[in-house]
Every structure is written in C-alpha cells, then in structure tokens.
Amino acid sequence: MSHRVEILDAKTREKLCFLDKVELGQGKSLKDEDVLQKLPVGTTATLYFRDLGAQISWVTVFLTEYAGPLFIYLLFYFRVPFIYGHKYDFTSSRHTVVHLACICHSFHYIKRLLETLFVHRFSHGTMPLRNIFKNCTYYWGFAAWMAYYINHPLYTPPTYGAQQVKLALAIFVICQLGNFSIHMALRDLRPAGSKTRKIPYPTKNPFTWLFLLVSCPNYTYEVGSWIGFAIMTQCLPVALFSLVGFTQMTIWAKGKHRSYLKEFRDYPPLRMPIIPFLL
C-alpha cells in the first residue's frame, strides 16, 4: 500500500513538496542524535518515517500518575462523605497501623513526585499519549482499591500486631532509602542535557552495593517497599498490587539487562535483572 506525503515548513506552514507512492518499509530505528553523514550507508539511503502519534512529556506523565494516588488515598483516609456511609464521614480510625500506612503511602508518592521534578533525567523526552490512560488506570485504580479496605471502619489490624507492623515498617523504610540511593546513583551517571549511557557501579553508599548482583536494583527496592507495605497492612489488594508491579518491573528489568549486555562487552557477568542469583 503506497501513501502520498505532504511536507510543510515547520514555521511558515508553507507547502514545500509532495512525495507520491511512498511505500511502507522496514529498517533499523535511528537515535535522535544520529547524524546522516555518519551513518554506515552508501551513496543511496532509504529513510522510513513512522508517525508515533500524539506524544506527552515524561515529566507530565509521572506527575499525573503519582499525584493521583496521593490524592485518592487521602480521600479514603479522611473518610470524605459518600464513601463509607454518613455516620463515618470525617471520622478517624482507632488503629495506629492505619495512620502509619497513610504516612508511608503518602511519603512514597511525594518522594516519587519530587524525584520526577529534581532527580530523574529522561533519555526520551516523550511517550505515547494513550499510555497515560493505561498507567493512570493502574495507579489510580489500585490506590482507591487498597485505600478503601485499609481505611474501612471494619478494618482489622495485622495478625501479629505491633511486631508485624514494626518489621514491615523497617522493610519499607530500608527499601525506600535504597530506591532513592539508586536513583541518585543513576542520575550521576548521566550529565545534565546528555544521553550518555554508562555501566552503573556501586558507590560508597551501601544501598548501591546491590548493583553487584542486579542490573536494576531500583526495581528490587521498589518491589521490596510494596512487600513491606503489604505485610504492614495485611491487605490483599496491596499484595496484588505488589505482584502486578513485580511482574511489570521484571519485564522492564530484563529488557534493560539485555540492552546492557548488548551495549557493553565488559558488563559484569554475575548480575541478574532484578532478583540476585534468580531472575
């Protein structure tokens, strides 16, 4: 199937030319920074243009994804009207773990928002607009589901009481610190404004030593945080959220691990994508 392509001047919108009978083709994707003169081609090169559709900046995506769960969870925590029934409107839970869970959940997403604004450096500026609807459904939906049960008037605390909560809180805090440490280490690998890729190695920060065993310790710590939150709240929706998140992050970690192996011949052979020695 051939197409007719109209080319316009980006500023004046003046029609420059038409390309008739343009055939769909297959080729190797070019990076944004590739220069035509430096490509390994002969005197004739065929370039294929692919319309990526409507795009949205990564910063906008993450701010939308993370602000939603933060706000939604607080609606259930403060028991705003029409959620649990009139007699529970704006009442407070008598269980300490419920308040602790709200602090942990809020801290996690505030941390994510601040990292998006001040820490992360994105290799790609945009992502397809349609993805934001899928991602927000996941984050916002799970936030509402877990918040409904954790803040429910009939919620019962964990089976093993304070000991279980303290252990889970320790896991959560350690993994949050680890996740932040990895994000800082990855940030320092890429100078501002560049798309340089380097092999990440452990720094003097002990939380980064996980780089010795896995390629994506930020995902390892992320999963660990949600496991801690699930143990703390003993809530099934949190456990399911952790499982779905682990599945998706494993896919991302395997992809990044493969790209590291392909790009760097001296990549450390002991590393696994996300779980040391296993996965």
User: What is the model's pLDDT at position 235?
Assistant: 96
User: What is the model's pLDDT at position 192?
Assistant: 66
Token digits for 126?
């945009």
- SS3 letters for the chain? CEEEEEEECCCCCCEEEEEEEEECCCCCCCCCCCCHHHCCCCCCCCCCCCCCCCEEEHHHHHHHHHHHHHHHHHHHHCCCCCCCCHHHCCCCCCCHHHHHHHHHHHHHHHHHHHHHHHCCCCCCCEEEHHHHHHHHHHHHHHHHHHHHHHCCCCCCCCCCHHHHHHHHHHHHHHHHHHHHHHHHHHHHHCCCCCCCCCCCCCCCCHHHHHHHCECCHHHHHHHHHHHHHHHHHCCHHHHHHHHHHHHHHHHHHHHHHHHHHHHCCCCCCCCECCCCCCC
Cα–Cα distance measured from residue 220 to residue 133, given in angstroms and rounded to the nearest whole number: 26
The total of other beta-carbon atoms located within 10 Å of residue 194's CB is 10
Q: How are beta strands 55-57 and 126-128 bridged, if at all?
A: antiparallel
The total of other beta-carbon atoms located within 10 Å of residue 268's CB is 14
User: What is the model's pLDDT at position 64?
Assistant: 85
Cα–Cα distance measured from residue 150 to residue 75, given in angstroms and rounded to the nearest whole number: 12
Q: Average pLDDT across each block of 10 residues of the chain; the chain has 279 residues. List them in order.
A: 64 70 63 62 62 66 88 97 93 96 98 89 67 88 97 96 97 98 90 75 95 96 98 97 96 95 92 94
Name the residue among 120, 113, 117, 257 with its Cα closest to residue 187. Answer: 120
User: What is the model's pLDDT at position 37?
Assistant: 63
User: What is the model's pLDDT at position 57?
Assistant: 75
- What is the torsional sign of CA 67, 73, 74, 79? positive
Question: Please, are residues 222 and 214 in contact by the beta-carbon 8 Å criterion?
Answer: no
Cα–Cα distance measured from residue 178 to residue 216, given in angstroms and rounded to the nearest whole number: 12
The reply to whether the predicted model has a pTM over 0.75 is: yes
